[in-house]
Amino acid sequence: MADYVQISAQISEATRKRLDLYARETGMKKSRLVEDAIQAHLDTLDAVPAQYVIPARVVVDAETWDWVLSEMENPGEPTPALRELMQRKRDEG
């Protein structure tokens, strides 16, 4: 039998509600759901090279956020390289 330890984590209220609902609907214990999720996440991190792992959340300062919004609201013209890439993908697909 595996050794078990208790951990504590802060999660959002929305996540807690989803966890509770899923546990009720499936009959799975929340501890099993959490352990399975952590194991799946760690297995994925082991399987994917680190340079391809994109964080789920990216924190930027106010200046960078303003720049991102500006770029989204006023996108520039695509570069020749981007046009070529998109055309290649269109031709392949």
CA 84 to chain centre: 29
The pLDDT of residue 91 is 87
30-62 in b/e form (b: 16+ CB < 10 A) is eeeeeeeeeeeeeeeeeeeeeeeeeeeeeeeee
- Look at residues 28, 23, 32, 29 and name the one whose alpha carbon lies nearest to residue 2: 32
Look up the pTM and report it: 0.55
Condensed to tens digits (0 to 9), the pLDDT of residues 38-74 reads 999 999 999 999 999 888 888 999 999 999 999 999 9
Residues 6 or more apart whose CB falls under 8 angstroms from that of 86 comprise 78
Q: Where are the domains of the chain?
A: 13-51+60-92
The mean pLDDT value of the chain amounts to: 92
